[in-house]
């Protein structure tokens, strides 16, 4: 039997074993999908209430309005000074701020994103009222609204990639660690070592099954989130999320392999996996946007590979950024996968000791 035939047979046998395991099917596919339905149904059409505006240069119209009524405007408007126009527009494009305004003579130009119709309408209405109050008769000023690249976020655009990332991380780390410890404690590894199938083929089959399951998860999440009740709108480069998913699966499988290679029992592997996966889910930005988190939490999040998977998928699926925006995150995930594979190789042992 050739190596490829061995690979096909092993991959198919592992897939059938996974399909027959109802518990694995539920916790790998249906359980994370249930979170998407719950979060999407509850928060799917909600947006933030306070308007955040970046003031590019000096705008006497806006400055005078804030000076006249600092308490009233302060409840609904937060103004931040910006000296770099291009950087301010990028923040609007990424959804980090709601609008960027600049004054050109008697014209107040409002740069906004139209993805969130409620917020964009609030921004334009608020700026128009400020201009009207400053104009007098005849109008001395006017407002012009200019739409930037559409990638501000609704809740479903955030929850779809972030909950998918959590599902992939959980399945990858738990699956790899438990499989490796179970195979070792039950003597399966030693029997595989003596079988005609090369060991790299065995592990390649396990990776292939994990990648196939992850792509099914991705398809289910996208299909459910695009139902009218949720209303996910994919960016033009959404397809770039597919290599993101594959790189993420490799990274989390490698972490699971490190745990499985080190742990002596299933109980130890489960405990260590929980200690890694649960903090990573919260600090990786799966359940809430990290933009609103404290500075220490945002800094700590860079340790966890889930942040890079969530951020990369969010950029191409929700924010509408181009395919190149995902390359740095893919690079980090592949680096984690390589480092984890090397460490797992160093810690690997055939028998339980």
pTM reported for the whole predicted model: 0.61
Question: For residue 162, which of 56, 82, 241 has the smallest C-alpha distance?
Answer: 241
- For every residue of the chain, which 3-state class applies, written as one string? CCHHHHHHHHHHHHHHHHHHCHHHHHHHHHHHHHHHHHHHHHHCCCCCCCEEEEEECCCHHHHHHHHHCHHHHHCCEEEEEECCHHHHHHHHHHCCCCEEEEEECCEEEEEECCCCHHHHHHHHHHHHHHHHHHHCCCCCCEEEEEECCCCCCCHHHHHHHHHHHHHHHHHHHHHHHHHHHHHHHCCHHHHHHHCCCCHHHHHHHHHHHHHHHHHHHHHHHHHHHCCCCCCCCCCCCHHHHHHHHHHHHHHHHHHHHHHHHHCCCHHHHHHHHHHHHHHHHHHCCCCCCHHHCCHHHHHHHCCCHHHHHHHHHHHHHHCCCCHHHHHHHHHHHHHHHHHHHHHHHHHCCCCCC
Sheet holding 107-112, edge to edge: 77-82, 51-56, 99-104, 107-112, 142-147
Q: Would you say 255 and 340 are in contact if contact means Cβ atoms under 8 Å apart?
A: yes
The whole-number pLDDT of residue 42 equals 44
The whole-number pLDDT of residue 1 equals 59
Q: What is the pLDDT along the chain (353 residues), one digit of tens a residue?
A: 566 666 667 667 666 665 665 655 555 666 666 656 655 554 455 444 567 888 888 888 888 777 777 666 767 788 888 878 888 887 877 667 878 888 888 788 888 765 455 566 677 778 887 887 766 555 567 777 776 644 445 677 878 888 899 889 988 898 888 888 888 888 887 787 777 767 777 778 888 888 998 999 999 989 988 888 887 888 788 999 999 999 999 999 999 999 988 888 888 888 888 888 888 888 888 877 776 567 777 788 888 999 999 989 988 887 777 888 889 999 999 999 999 989 988 888 777 65
Q: How would you classify the pairing of strands 107-112 and 99-104? A: antiparallel
Question: For residue 312, which of 323, 300, 296 has the smallest C-alpha distance?
Answer: 323
The whole-number pLDDT of residue 47 equals 47
Residue holding tokens 């190149």? 324
Q: How far is CA 181 from CA 65, 185, 347, in A?
A: 66, 6, 12
What is the rounded distance in angstroms from the CA atom of residue 282 to the CA atom of residue 289? Answer: 10
- With 0-12 / 13-18 / 19 or more C-beta atoms within 10 angstroms meaning exposed / middle / buried, residue 294 is exposed
């Amino acid at each position: 039997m050739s190596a490829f035939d061995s690979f096909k047979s092993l991959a198919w046998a592992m897939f059938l074993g996974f399909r027959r395991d109802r518990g694995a099917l539920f916790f790998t596919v249906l359980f994370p999908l249930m979170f998407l339905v719950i979060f999407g149904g509850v928060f799917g059409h909600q947006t933030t209430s306070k308007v955040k505006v970046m003031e590019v240069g000096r705008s006497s119209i806006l400055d005078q309005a804030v000076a006249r009524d600092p308490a009233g405007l302060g409840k609904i408007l937060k103004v931040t000074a910006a000296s770099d126009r291009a950087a301010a527009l990028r923040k609007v494009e990424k959804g980090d701020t709601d609008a960027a305004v600049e004054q050109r003579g008697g014209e107040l130009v409002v740069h906004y994103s139209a993805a969130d119709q409620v917020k964009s309408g609030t921004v334009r209405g608020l700026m128009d009222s400020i201009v009207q109050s400053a104009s007098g008769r005849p109008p001395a000023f006017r407002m012009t609204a200019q739409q930037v690249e559409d990638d501000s976020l609704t809740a479903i655009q955030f929850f779809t990639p972030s909950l998918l990332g959590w599902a992939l991380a959980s399945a990858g780390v738990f699956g790899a660690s438990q499989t490796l410890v179970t195979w070792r404690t039950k003597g399966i590894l030693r029997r595989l070592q003596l079988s005609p199938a090369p060991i790299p083929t065995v592990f390649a089959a396990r990776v292939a099954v994990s990648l196939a399951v992850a792509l099914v998860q991705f398809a289910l999440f996208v299909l459910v989130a695009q139902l009218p009740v949720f209303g996910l709108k994919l960016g033009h480069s959404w397809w770039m999320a597919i290599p993101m998913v594959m790189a993420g699966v490799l990274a989390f499988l490698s972490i699971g392999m490190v745990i499985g290679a080190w742990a002596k029992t299933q109980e130890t592997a489960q405990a260590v996996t929980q200690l890694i996966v649960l903090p990573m889910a919260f600090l990786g930005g799966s359940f809430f946007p990290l933009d609103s988190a404290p500075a220490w939490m945002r800094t700590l999040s860079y340790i966890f590979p889930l942040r890079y998977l969530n951020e990369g998928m969010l950029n191409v699926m929700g924010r509408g950024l181009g395919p190149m925006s995902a390359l740095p995150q893919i690079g980090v995930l592949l680096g984690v996968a390589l480092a984890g594979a090397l460490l797992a190789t160093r810690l690997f042992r055939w028998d339980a000791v």
